[in-house]
Amino acid sequence: HPTADVVALDRDPERARLLLPPGSPVAVRQTPAELAGWQPDLVILALKPQVLGAALAEFIPLLRGALVISVAAGVGLSRLGELLGGHRRLVRAMPNLPVVVGQGMTTLYADSPAAADVAACTAVFDAVGQSAWVASEGQIDAATAIAGSGPAYFLALVEQLAKAGEAEGLPAELAQHLASRTFIGAASLLQQDGRPAATLKAAVCSPRGTTEAGLAVLEQPDALPRAVAASVRAAHQRAVELADA
Ligand SMILES: NC(=O)C1=CN([C@@H]2O[C@H](COP(=O)(O)OP(=O)(O)OC[C@H]3O[C@@H](n4cnc5c(N)ncnc54)[C@H](OP(=O)(O)O)[C@@H]3O)[C@@H](O)[C@H]2O)C=CC1
Ligand SMILES: O=C(O)[C@@H]1CCC=N1
């Protein structure tokens, strides 16, 4: 936000500065103690679930009065509240990696949040893509398995498509280029056209053509449908496990 004072805390401030664009007004500090006396309105905790338990105590003095957003996969509001000394103005967010190019999809949940807090969180995550609030905390873990981890699934498919292209006789570099441009093109089409994926998929299939032949294999119940369902189930399960990490 152009008028906000933004401070990034990172154990390695030099590395953090390298992530900021030249001339960025964001200040970088190493420890919460360096911000003693400052009362931020909004704090985003972007630590791994496994380190939250050990790391959060030193943040408690900084957070008084702040709206706190955690992006940690799996870690529930009740545990976050305990780790933050009973802090209650808490929101769970699950963004995804495309936030770095302004195309993120973030899922949000809080227990009975104030309207102003909903508006503040929505503004933060809409600035880097789109956001959606879910009705129950459990849905955040399911959304993590879809949108949080999802970019990696699609990128894994691009990898496999490129490998398959190579196996069919294309040069490796060309196969990679074809696979990634096809992925980007299909995603742009989905975005701009507005019709559901199933409808656009049907538009690619010429009667008795090549796509039908490919999909007949890919969409066998034991192939893509099973692999995707099992992968999402494993990611969802892992989010639930991380609650106790
Ligand atoms: N990657 C993704 O696409 C998404 C990740 N998330 C969530 O974001 C969080 C971060 O994940 P991710 O960015 O992938 O992980 P990273 O390991 O890249 O980032 C974790 C950061 O926390 C720092 N850190 C570790 N221990 C401490 C500590 N004790 N005190 C202060 N800082 C510490 C790490 O520093 P150092 O490198 O020095 O260890 C690192 O900068 C996780 O909770 C994850 O669930 C949510 C949505 C999507
Ligand atoms: O892999 C993870 O645990 C995190 C959460 C969603 C994406 N990355």
**DSSP at 148:** I
pLDDT tens track for 181-222: 999 999 999 999 999 999 999 999 999 999 999 999 999 999
Candidates 70, 71, 244, 236; CA nearest to 141 is 236
CA distances to 33, 87, 118, 121 from 59, rounded to whole Å, are 8, 11, 22, 20
Q: Which ligand is nearest to the CA of 96?
A: 1
Record the tokens describing residue 86, joined without a space. Answer: 């009973």
> How confident is the model at residue 245, as a pLDDT?
72
> How confident is the model at residue 243, as a pLDDT?
85
> How confident is the model at residue 114, as a pLDDT?
97
CA distances to 11, 120, 158 from 153, rounded to whole Å, are 30, 30, 9
pLDDT tens track for 138-169: 999 999 999 999 999 999 999 999 999 999 99
Residue with tokens 């007004």: 25
pLDDT beyond 80 at 1: no
Closest C-alpha residue for ligand 1 atom 23: 47
Give the ligand 1 atom nearest the CA of 16: 41
Ligand 1 proximity of 233 Cβ (cutoff 6 Å): no
Band of residue 231 on the pLDDT scale cut at 50, 70, 90: very high
pLDDT beyond 80 at 85: yes
pLDDT tens track for 9-25: 999 999 999 999 898 99
Average pLDDT, the chain: 95
Band of residue 4 on the pLDDT scale cut at 50, 70, 90: confident
pLDDT tens track for 56-71: 998 999 998 899 999 9
Q: Ligand 2: which residues within 6 Å by Cβ?
A: 73, 144, 148-149
Q: Which ligand is nearest to the CA of 143?
A: 2
Amino acid at 54: A
Question: Which domains are present in the chain?
Answer: 7-135 (3.40.50.720), 150-242 (1.10.3730.10)
- E strands in the chain: 7-9, 27-29, 42-45, 67-70, 90-94, 104-109, 129-133
Here the ipTM equals 0.90
pLDDT beyond 70 at 2: no
